Amino acid sequence: MAPRMRTHRPASGSRAPTKKTSTALLQKLLAAAKLRHKEIVPVRDENAITYLRRILPMHYNAAELLDGEIAGFYIAEAENHPSTVGFWIEYREPGRPAKNFSYRKCTKKGGDTSRAGKLQRAARVAVQQQLWDYKAQLQTDATRCEECGSLIDQETMLDHQKVHIDHKSPLVDVFGEFRRQHDTLSLAVIKVEHEMAEYRFENRETESLWEQFHLVHATLQPLHAVCHRKKTTKDIQSCAAW
């Protein structure tokens, strides 16, 4: 007999938060994790950890994220999406590595499995190489952070944990304009085993056209990681699109 899959169930007497509650909890988490220094300092406040545990049931990977006692959390560059930021959970179990997850997926139940979520992931993966190529061209001492205006030296630029590549206009807006201009294209996605994401465009022509569109219409900018976190925190306040 095949083993039964373990699923996460909220603690007795508790319910998964609504989208409105999740957004409020997320803002508290971001406030708790706001860094005043370039160092990554984990948040260990028990109230903040309680907020985190309340919001995690909304994540599609809740069972794994909640499997263990949480010691703290911090915000840093996402594991599989360089140039974006996400939460990292630290566990009390000795030797257990921190676990990265997207906090945006906690504002909508099953957000990662919705059609919009799959499309967004496929769109990001298709153009990730362009972000890496852009950053490679900036590895000089003449580059400034577009948020704070200070120079980024070459040593800092080479450290992907310290410098992120950001879309000046959010990627979701650029992709939305692409969809409006190519409304007859097939936007089917397929689930794949890929180190960066779970979804790719099924139609190679669609992916190629999107790559070309992004190359022409997306405006990229280098940001210090700490500046990117501050910008992301400000952007979170406008969450109507979630």
- pLDDT of res. 5: 33
> pLDDT tens-digit profile of 29-55?
776 666 433 456 788 888 888 888 888
Is residue 134 classed exposed, middle or buried when 0-12, 13-18 and 19+ CB atoms within 10 A define those classes?
middle
Taking alpha carbons only, the member of 87, 88, 84, 103 closest to residue 228 is 84
CA 165 vs CA 69, 77, 153: distances in Å: 33, 11, 15
Q: How far apart are CA 222 and CA 135, in angstroms?
A: 8
Is residue 223 classed exposed, middle or buried when 0-12, 13-18 and 19+ CB atoms within 10 A define those classes?
buried
Cα angle 141, 147, 153 (rounded to 5 degrees) comes to: 15
> pLDDT tens-digit profile of 154-195?
778 777 667 888 899 888 899 999 999 998 888 888 876 554
Q: How far apart are CA 4 and CA 112, in angstroms?
A: 23
* Domains identified in the chain and CATH numbers: 19-106 (3.10.450.40), 114-236 (no CATH)
Q: How far apart are CA 138 and CA 166, in angstroms?
A: 13
Instruction: Report the chain's mean pLDDT, rounded to a whole number.
Output: 75
Assessment of whether the complete model's pTM goes beyond 0.85: no
